[in-house]
Amino acid sequence: MTPTFAFIQILNGLQFGMILFLIAAGLTLVFGVMDFINLAHGVQYMVGAYLAAAFTAWSGSFFIGLALALPAALLFGLLLEFLVFRHLYDRDHLDQVLATFGVILFLNQAVKLVWGAEPLSVPIPDVLSGTIELSDGILYPVYRLVIIGVGLGVGLLLYAVVNHTRLGMLVRAGATNAPMVAALGVNIRLLFTIVFGTGAMLAGLAGAMVAPLLSVEPGMGDHVLILTFVVIVIGGIGSMRGAFVAALLIGLIDTLGRFVAPSVLRAVLDPAAASQVGTALAPMLIYLIMAGVLCFRPSGLFPMKH
Amino acid sequence: MKHVMKTLGMVALVVTSGHPAAAQEKLKIGVLVTLSGPPAVLGQQARDGFALAIKDLGGKMGGRDVDVVVVDDELKPDVAVTKVKGLLERDKVDFVVGPIFSNVLLAIHKPVIDANTFLISPNAGPSSYAGKACSPFFYVTSYQNDQVHEVLGKVAQDRGYKRVYILVPNYQAGKDAVAGFKQDFKGEVLEESYIPLGTLDYQAELSKIASMKPDAVFAFMPGGMGVNLVKQYKQAGLAGRIPFLSAFTVDESTLPAQQDAAVGLYGGGNWAPNLDTPQNKKFVAEYEAAYGKVPASYAFQAYDAAMLIASAVTSVKGDLTNKAAITAALKKADFTSLRGAFKFNTNNYPIQNFYLTKVAKRPDGKFETEIDEKVFSNYGDRYAKDCPATN
Amino acid sequence: MTHRLKPNGRRVVPLLIFALLALVPAATAIGADAFVLSLVTRIMIFGLAAMALDLLLGYGAMISFGHAAYVGIGAYSVGILSSSGIDDVFVQIAVAFAASGLFALVTGAISLRTKGAYFIMITLAFGQMLFFLASSLAAFGGDDGMTLPSRSLVFGAPILKNTVVLYYAAFICLLGFYALCRAIVASRFGRVLRGIRENLVRMEAIGFAPYPYKLAAYVIAGMIASVAGVLLANQAEFVSPAYAGWQRSAELIFMVVLGGVGSLHGAIIGAALFVLLAEYLSRLTEYWPMIFGPLLILVVIFARGGIAGLLKAWR
């Protein structure tokens, strides 16, 4: 691995980590404040991507599409909250896992019914479609840097809101002890709705941001969902800082693992076999790390509850 | 809305099954394809292509009414086995058509063959059943999987590429792809990059390609993986700089999403929508009119599968009791394939022409693959010699 | 009628279930669809796995989101052994027991250090780890999975080839493990386990350390589920990493909750409903999950206690 190559892989890892962070931020808030396991968070990401694709195709501009997709994703999230999730807050985790799994089943088919099974496409807007030459002949797409920028921006914004506003104080308090916050006379319903809406919109934003990179297709949220859960569990449920650190960690490990594992195995296997075994083992790395973290820190890296 | 209507139509078609018909017994055909998850689009193409053929046949084969039962294998092997047992034991189908994916075929082959029922694969053509394990009950209307990769290896060799970078998914079909490509390609393979299934982001591999500067890239990335790869290939500024040879990566099922990013990329195949035979012209026009999209090879191969079955049923005059007679009739392949020249090898995999195809934008704004040059004529697979002639 | 049955009420439903299951092959013998046999075999296999999970969910309050992994271990024990020529079903079950027991012991020892949602997620992580491991076994088909050369042998005889024999093999396993689970639940061990679920603090106060009890239950549940894997491999004559995927784990949880958590036989009812619904809805429309998903939500919201709960209320 040359230094440039390693640098590119790190950029890729960061970019993937930022996407994971956008999704995980909402999930960890909802999980932490409302003690609600929302498996449907992944399909909200998918719906965000579909909305962005639909609005972009309709308006002809990615930016208008994005601008419309975000409030639409928010509304959609609130609708789900009203129809399903609201009835599950005082249930145990088991009921929540199941009912939200039902939402996944429904929505994965619903998008197919509405938009068809063919993957949809969103072109990268012209202003962002350029590439930057890192070194001789090695180009890096501007759009990916934009994703890193958006992730950082959202991260800073959330950090500011959570740590320096009254709302943020309530969120932190809610993540530590929600019944106590309610007992103190705070309108916990309203707080829940705000938190949930924010989470839905962030997942939608992540979906809309990846739409130009990835194919928008039914079931695209399932794989990401599991990774997102890994992220928030490693980070510590309810911790924004934990979600950020863990998302970048997982993004980097997932990306670098695909290259490091095969090159390490090359010492003992021939290149083709090393690549095969290495890429098969690389996804396990994430789960190994998660198990390792939880083994020594059973409440994640930045635990909220005491 | 269009989809809703189509689904209702399909439901009507499927629900007609259930109990044995009272009057003249209908001919029953089970279609088992993947209709859920990201690859659903491939299964829909096959299902629609098959339905179109039944329509063209007037709903009859050899004078008997045809009843088609469509089931979804969900791309889960154990579900596929249960579904296929339902087709065999409950619906008592005479033919099973399917599946799309080789791993599903591996799971359903045994139950179908053990039930002495004919299995026609409209897409999956693994080497497993092309050699020693060939069977008089198993037919393939597509190709032996390796052949498509051999086309691209031959092209890379003929065009004098010396250094090639290979990108395939990390599963059996990916390994077969590499083996197939290397069959005729004698240059240097810079790297065989095995990608975990379901990988979304190829930026890492693409930057490696950019730094290695190979003469060409060979990719086998079916479905959504291909969509992502092609879009990102273009975004990384590699399109137009490094020739992109691919198998199952750019076709009419993925082009609606790849669009301009795929134009000029190469693929390999036994057919393309613009293949110039009268039957094919009619098929493509009908398919586009009925379903509003350009057919991919899955649709055409399923169409041919229906025509193959029809030819056999007609030749035995609708009498399905004599299995040996049906086998003989199927082996003759006495129908006009949309691809033109077509016959079965000893292992019941096709002998046919293979082409290099290139993605183009049609005047009407839709995208399709078009034939660039013929690479192999009347080409059979290399496993057939191991198939006992008595099969 | 109901009054007279009341003292034995707890036994009536399971008795009915097993009587019904025992009679299915007779029904097919006198003309019912042969497919019913395959379908009910599948129900019993998933019922066995779901029942094992119920031991954790219902009696130990451990929400394992990776229970399909043990089904996978059982299936791969059959696949790997039979591809190297070891066809005897008892050897295969012994290996499945050893492998699943060991896996459950190691992962359970780590997982049980965590609580609540962390436990759900760490069991999911271990399940996924096993899934990716199975996918990387190139010699045994990797992602594609592998076809079994033949079904397992019983004392050297290929009797499982017969679908009725396979049916009763699954039936005997289900009945046997049901009896075992009942005995476990009624034993001192089971009572301690339930005590820990009901009131951890009190149990600790009277001198019970929860950890070894929970771990033992976790290992037992894993081993029982592996038998379901052995049966599933034989039924499908195919082994695939998909058996161990997280969606399958979610389906197992669904079966338990649908049937009713903490009743053991509820898991069998849940499995039956799940398999039958999936089978018949999917024949209605390819969009069947759009019916299935909302149904799931409605069951969770409105039918607390699942089907077994409804039966109890009705009685």
Work out the angle at residue B252's Cα, subtended by the Cα atoms of residues B250 and B258, and round it to the nearest 5 degrees: 55
Taking CA atoms, what residue in B is nearest to A104? Answer: B37
Which residues of chain B have a CB within 8 Å of the CB of A216? Answer: 257
Give just the sign of the alpha carbon dihedral B347, B353, B358, B363: negative
Question: Nearest by CB to B203, which of A129, A144, A219?
Answer: A144
The answer to whether C244 faces chain B, any CB pair under 8 Å, is: no
B196 to A280: CB separation less than 8 angstroms, yes or no: yes
* Spacing of C-alpha B331 from chain mean position: 19
Q: Closest approach of chain B CAs to the CA of A80, in angstroms? A: 22
Which residues, at least 6 apart from A45, have a Cβ–Cβ distance to it below 8 Å? A23, A203, A204, A206, A207, A220, A221, A224, A225
Task: Cite the beta strand spans of chain B per DSSP E.
Answer: 27-33, 60-61, 64-72, 95-97, 118-121, 138-140, 163-169, 188-195, 216-220, 244-247, 266-269, 343-344, 350-361, 367-379
ipTM value, please give it: 0.85
Among C91, B235, C64, smallest CA distance to A130 is for B235
A residues 198..257 contacting C (CB < 8 A): 222, 226, 229-230, 233, 237
Range from A211-215, B145-149, B168-172, B266-270 carrying the lowest mean pLDDT: B168-172
The answer to whether C289 faces chain B, any CB pair under 8 Å, is: yes
Work out the angle at residue B150's Cα, subtended by the Cα atoms of residues B145 and B152, and round it to the nearest 5 degrees: 115
Q: Where in chain B is the domain with CATH 3.40.50.2300?
A: 2-143+276-344, 146-269+354-379
Q: What is the mean pLDDT of residues B46-52?
A: 97
The answer to whether B13 faces chain C, any CB pair under 8 Å, is: no
Report the alpha-carbon distance of residue B225 to residue B169 in Å, rounded: 9
What pLDDT does residue A177 have? 80
The answer to whether B15 faces chain C, any CB pair under 8 Å, is: yes
Q: In Å, what is the CA distance from C62 to each residue of B6, C53, C100, C101, C122?
A: 45, 9, 18, 17, 12
Question: Nearest by CB to C144, which of B76, B89, B172?
Answer: B172
Q: How does C2-13 read in b/e, with b if 16+ C-beta sit within 10 Å? A: eeeeeeeeeeeb
Q: How does A156-177 read in b/e, with b if 16+ C-beta sit within 10 Å? A: eebeeebeeeeebebbbbbbee
The answer to whether B179 faces chain C, any CB pair under 8 Å, is: no
pTM confidence score: 0.88
Residues of chain A with pLDDT under 70: 1, 136-138, 305-306
Looking at the structure of chain A, the number of domains it has is 1
- C-beta neighbour count of C103 within 10 angstroms: 21
Please report how the helices C306-314 and C246-259 are oriented relative to each other, as an axis angle in degrees rounded to 10: 0
Report the alpha-carbon distance of residue A1 to residue B207 in Å, rounded: 12
Residues of chain C with pLDDT under 50: 1-8
Tokens, residue B235: 């975004």
B residues 143..172 contacting A (CB < 8 A): 170
Among B141, B92, B139, smallest CA distance to B115 is for B92
What pLDDT does residue B24 have? 62
Taking CA atoms, what residue in C is nearest to B4? Answer: C287
B76 to C242: CB separation less than 8 angstroms, yes or no: yes
Report the alpha-carbon distance of residue B41 to residue A218 in Å, rounded: 10
Tell me: pLDDT of B9 over 60.
no
Interface size between B and C, measured as CB pairs under 8 A? 93
The answer to whether A218 faces chain B, any CB pair under 8 Å, is: yes
pLDDT digits (tens, 9 = 90+) for B298-343: 999 999 999 999 999 999 998 899 999 999 999 999 999 999 989 9
B103 to C143: CB separation less than 8 angstroms, yes or no: yes
Mutate to test the interface with A, among B211, B251, B263, B291 (most CBs of A within 10 A): B211
Q: Closest approach of chain B CAs to the CA of C262, in angstroms? A: 28
C118 to A298: CB separation less than 8 angstroms, yes or no: yes
Report the alpha-carbon distance of residue A132 to residue A138 in Å, rounded: 8
B2-143+276-344 fold: Rossmann fold (3.40.50)
Which residues of chain C have a CB within 8 Å of the CB of B41? Answer: none
Domain C2-314: give its CATH architecture.
Orthogonal Bundle (1.10)
Tokens, residue A68: 């419309």
Which residues of chain A have a CB within 8 Å of the CB of C289? Answer: 105-106, 108-109
Report the alpha-carbon distance of residue A82 to residue B251 in Å, rounded: 42
> Could you please report the per-residue DSSP string of B126-146?
-GGGTSTT--TTEEESS--HH
What pLDDT does residue A131 have? 80
A105 to C261: CB separation less than 8 angstroms, yes or no: no
Helix (H) or strand (E) holding C303: none
Q: What is the mean pLDDT of residues B235-263?
A: 90
What pLDDT does residue B4 have? 47
Among B227, B264, B293, smallest CA distance to A211 is for B227
What pLDDT does residue C284 have? 84
Taking CA atoms, what residue in A is nearest to C136? Answer: A280
What pLDDT does residue A185 have? 82
What pLDDT does residue A62 have? 94
- The dihedral formed by the CA atoms of C301, C305, C308 and C310, expressed in degrees to the nearest 10: -60
Q: Are C253 and A97 in contact (CB under 8 A)?
A: yes
The pLDDT confidence band at residue B17, using thresholds 50, 70 and 90, is very low
Which residues, at least 6 apart from A296, have a Cβ–Cβ distance to it below 8 Å? none
Taking CA atoms, what residue in C is nearest to B72? Answer: C286
Q: Closest approach of chain A CAs to the CA of C200, in angstroms? A: 17
Can you tell me whether residue B367 is helix, strand or coil? strand
What pLDDT does residue B389 have? 72
What pLDDT does residue A1 have? 55
Q: Closest approach of chain A CAs to the CA of B321, in angstroms? A: 39
Question: Nearest by CB to A139, which of B7, B38, B236?
Answer: B236
A109 to C301: CB separation less than 8 angstroms, yes or no: no
What are chain B's partners, defined as 3 or more CB pairs within 8 angstroms? A, C
Q: Closest approach of chain B CAs to the CA of A22, in angstroms? A: 17
What pLDDT does residue A20 have? 95
Report the alpha-carbon distance of residue C303 to residue C253 in Å, rounded: 15
Tokens, residue C33: 């669809």
Return the amino acid letter for C87: D
Taking CA atoms, what residue in A is nearest to C291? Answer: A106
Question: Nearest by CB to A118, which of B195, B256, B260?
Answer: B256
Domain B146-269+354-379: give its CATH architecture.
3-Layer(aba) Sandwich (3.40)
Q: Closest approach of chain B CAs to the CA of C13, in angstroms? A: 28
Can you tell me whether residue B243 is helix, strand or coil? coil
Q: Phi/psi class of residue A215: alpha, beta or left (left: φ > 0; alpha: ψ in -120 to 50)?
A: beta
Work out the angle at residue A113's Cα, subtended by the Cα atoms of residues A111 and A118, and round it to the nearest 5 degrees: 75
The pLDDT confidence band at residue B235, using thresholds 50, 70 and 90, is confident
A residues 23..42 contacting C (CB < 8 A): 31, 37, 39
Among B208, B206, B209, B246, smallest CA distance to B226 is for B246
Q: Closest approach of chain C CAs to the CA of A231, in angstroms? A: 10
A105 to C296: CB separation less than 8 angstroms, yes or no: yes
Question: Nearest by CB to A12, which of B36, B44, B203?
Answer: B203
Domain that holds residue A214: 9-218
The answer to whether C281 faces chain B, any CB pair under 8 Å, is: no
Question: Nearest by CB to A138, which of B37, B210, B223?
Answer: B210
Max intra-chain CA distance, chain B: 70
Q: Are B27 and A108 in contact (CB under 8 A)?
A: no
DSSP state of C242: G
Residue A281 lies in a domain: no
Report the alpha-carbon distance of residue C231 to residue C174 in Å, rounded: 11
Taking CA atoms, what residue in B is nearest to C41? Answer: B82
> Could you please report the per-residue DSSP string of chain A?
--HHHHHHHHHHHHHHHHHHHHHHHHHHHHHHHH----TTHHHHHHHHHHHHHHHHHHHS-HHHHHHHHHHHHHHHHHHHHHHTGGGGTTS-HHHHHHHHHHHHHHHHHHHHHHH-SSPB--PPPGGG--EEEEETTEEEEHHHHHHHHHHHHHHHHHHHHHHHSHHHHHHHHHHHHHHHHHHTT--HHHHHHHHHHHHHHHHHHHHHHHTTTS-B-TTHHHHHHHHHHHHHHHH-TT-HHHHHHHHHHHHHHHHHHHHHHHHHHTTTS-HHHHHHHHHHHHHHHHHHHHHHHHHH-TT-SS----
Taking CA atoms, what residue in A is nearest to B260? Answer: A123
A294 to C253: CB separation less than 8 angstroms, yes or no: no
